[in-house]
Amino acid sequence: MEQVKQQIVVKDLGLIDYQAAWDYQEQLLKENVQLKSRVAGQLSKPTTNYLLFCEHPPVYTLGKSGHLENLLISREELEEQGIGFVPTNRGGDITFHGPGQIVGYPIIDLENFFTDIGKYLRFLEEVIIRTLAEYGVAGDRSKGETGVWIAPHDPQQARKICAMGVRCSRWVTMHGFALNVNTMMAYFNNIVACGIADKKVASLDQELGRKVDIEEVKAHLARHFGEVFEAEMSDVV
């Protein structure tokens, strides 16, 4: 008998303030955790899996294990340039979010899939790698470093195109990945991206030498997410 696939609701939040998106993630996570807490092992109704897409106004975010010294400009300069700064509860160090970058926030109950955070991160990387392959770009993993890279084994050419940082509560995930598509890369000059000083950052438009259709990339991401997680993805709402 064929196993019934998990359902994942895909939502596009558009351009949204980082804190507003974080609050919404916390709300969805809390709803799922409460469902799981009512009666251990006996859910009154199943948890709901989500994949949220969005873009943020310019903001630097610092992971809970990050180092503030990796922010290379002052708070005054941030204000002058209209860039936000938010310490977060995700893993990882400092990164940038801004227009032209697709941020993906999976709010999924890993108990519906598997209970292994390392495997979850590798699955997220696989989604990005397959999406980049649609454009003839060879994404890859870098040993000991989460995220997706281009030419990670060449010290002169290694560059990161997708940063990742997640949090998990009662096996419900939040935060996720940030894929540079048409991102203004100058913003990365103000930080030591992900705390890694000796490697550059990349964006899909620079790799291809042309602007890329953001909606098309989201469609590829959703499709490959469904393939990798063996789930049914809803239409984008």
Q: Tokens 């995220």 identify what position?
A: 147
Of these residues, 54, 162, 168, 194, which one is catalytic?
194
Closest CA to 100 of 218, 190, 21: 218
Reply yes or no on whether 162 is catalytic: no
- The whole-angstrom separation of Cα 218 and Cα 54 is 10
CB atoms within 10 A of CB 18: 20
Tokens read off for 123: 């699955």
Evaluate whether 204 touches 212 at the Cβ level (below 8 Å): yes
The dihedrals phi and psi of 67, each to the nearest 5 degrees, come to -120, 125
- The whole-angstrom separation of Cα 47 and Cα 28 is 10
Tokens read off for 50: 């989500």
Segment (H or E) for 185: none
Closest CA to 146 of 92, 191, 193, 195: 92
Residues belonging to the active site: 194
